[in-house]
Chains A and B, each alone.
Chain A
Amino acid sequence: MSFNARITMPAEARAGEIVEIRVLTRHPMDRGGQSDGKGGTVPRKILNRLTVTYAGEPIFRFDMHTGVSANPFVSFTTRAVATGDLLFEWREDGGATFTRTARLTVT
Chain B
Amino acid sequence: MGRKPPFTTTRVSSRTQRSGDPGSSPEPFLAGVPAWIPGLPAVARDDARVDDTSKSVGLGGCFSALRTTLRLVPVVAIVGLAGPATAQLRSGTEFLSPEMQRQQADETRNPAFFWVEQGRELFSRKPGANGQACVSCHAEPQQSLRGAATRYPQVDAASGKLLNLEGRIEQCRVERQGQPAFGYETPELLSLTAYAASLSRGLPLDVRTDGAAKPFYEAGRAMFERRQGQLNLSCAQCHDGLVGQKLRGDTISYGVGTAFPAYRLEWNDVGSLHRRLRACSLGVRATQFDYGAPEYLALELFLAARGRGLPIEAPGIRR
Contacts and interface: CB of A to CB of B under 8 A. Distances in A.
A26 B268 CA distance: 11
A22 B118 CA distance: 20
Nearest to B267: A70
Contacts of B108: 6, 8, 22, 24
Contacts of A8: 108
A98 B47 CA distance: 61
A11 interface: no
A73 B111 contact: yes
B118 A69 contact: no
B269 A1 contact: no
B111 A26 contact: yes
A48 interface: no
Contacts of A69: 268
- The range of chain B's interface size is 10 to 19
A13 B159 CA distance: 58
Contact of A24 (B109, B118, B187): B109
Interface in A40-87: 69-71, 73
B117 interface: yes
B268 to A, nearest CB: 4
Interface string B180-213: 0000000100000000000000000000000000
Among B113, B114, B117, B118, residue most surrounded by chain A Cβ atoms (within 10 Å): B114
B310 to A, nearest CB: 27
B193 to A, nearest CB: 15
A71 B114 contact: yes
A1 B117 CA distance: 11
Given A70-B268, A70-B269, A71-B268, A1 B111 contact: no
Interface string B255-278: 000000001000011000000000
Contacts of B111: 24, 26, 71, 73
A107 interface: no
A35 to B, nearest CB: 19
Interface string B88-131: 00000000000000000001110101100110000000000000
13 contacts: A1-B114, A1-B118, A1-B187, A6-B113, A6-B114, A24-B108, A26-B111, A26-B114, A28-B269, A29-B268, A70-B269, A71-B268, A73-B109
Interface of B: 107-109, 111, 113-114, 117-118, 187, 263, 268-269
Interface of A: 1, 4, 6, 8, 22, 24, 26, 28-29, 69-71, 73
Which A-B residue pairs are the 6 nearest by beta carbons? A70-B268, A8-B108, A71-B111, A26-B114, A4-B114, A1-B118
Given A1-B187, A70-B269, 13 more contacts: A1-B114, A4-B114, A6-B107, A6-B108, A22-B108, A24-B114, A29-B268, A69-B268, A70-B268, A71-B111, A71-B114, A71-B268, A73-B109
